[in-house]
Amino acid sequence: MTDEPTHEDRDERPLDGRTRLLGALRRPGSRGQAVAAVLLAVLGFAAVTQVRSNGRDDAYVGARQGDLIQYINSLDLASQRAQTEITRLERTREALGNDTQARRTALTRARQQAATLGILAGTVPAVGPGVRVTVADPTRGVGTNQMIDGLEELRDAGAEVIQIGDTKDPNHTVRVVAQTSMQDTAGGGIVVDGKVLRAPYVIDAIGDPHTLATALDFTGGFISEVQGVGGKVTVDELNQLRITTVRTPSTPDYAQPTTNR
């Protein structure tokens, strides 16, 4: 006959945690039951989260070899497409850069050409080294014959810009270009492009100062001609000469531009 534990023995046996938790749940409305419910909810949420996380991390662990190869091939194709797109965009960027540089170069050249043509046409001011030629005419013998010869000698010597005026009014000047006309007046003086100038005349010319000065002073040249009619010429070589007189461009009546060469 075995000795079964009596009711008193069972009450005196120490209870484990599971037994105590179940006992707390059986007691309705107790604080232990509420605490246990909260703990179980927290543990359940943590377990589900952990399982989902492990499922994401181990997505490829149980995959077959064929599936893994397909995944790798897909990644390679995506990488190749991305690299191809990068190469195309880089080429487009280089093409745009080259086109912008070409336009910038063309614009710079166009501006330089416009400036050069403006200087030659007399439509823009100019500055540079040159000579200032002062022509005194006490006997009123200097006329268009001498002045035209002087201007031609300066041009032949490389004068790039020429301006003529008189000393009575610094603003009384004319920019000399290919269309400039000149004639004598009855009372002494000359008319340049419709503007009357009186001696002493002043000619400003931009170019190499020494070359321009030498071109005026030779036997039978401009200085000799002026002296032959009772005038006097003074030539000053200047490191910087500023010519501010400009002309308003006129529209040709007959000539038209052509692209034929």
The per-residue pLDDT for range 2-30, each reduced to its tens digit, is 455 554 444 555 555 556 655 655 555 55
- Calculate what percentage of the chain has a pLDDT beyond 70: 72
127 Cβ contact list (under 8 Å, min separation 6): 206, 240, 241, 242, 243
pLDDT band at residue 121 using 50, 70 and 90 as cut-offs: confident
Check residue 211 and report its DSSP letter.
H
Specify the CATH class of 127-243 in words.
Answer: alpha beta
Residue 30 identity: S
pLDDT at 2: 47
pLDDT at 40: 59
The per-residue pLDDT for range 166-181, each reduced to its tens digit, is 877 767 899 999 889 9
Q: Which residue has the higher pLDDT, 126 or 30?
A: 126
161 Cβ contact list (under 8 Å, min separation 6): 119, 122, 126, 128, 130, 175, 204, 205, 206, 243
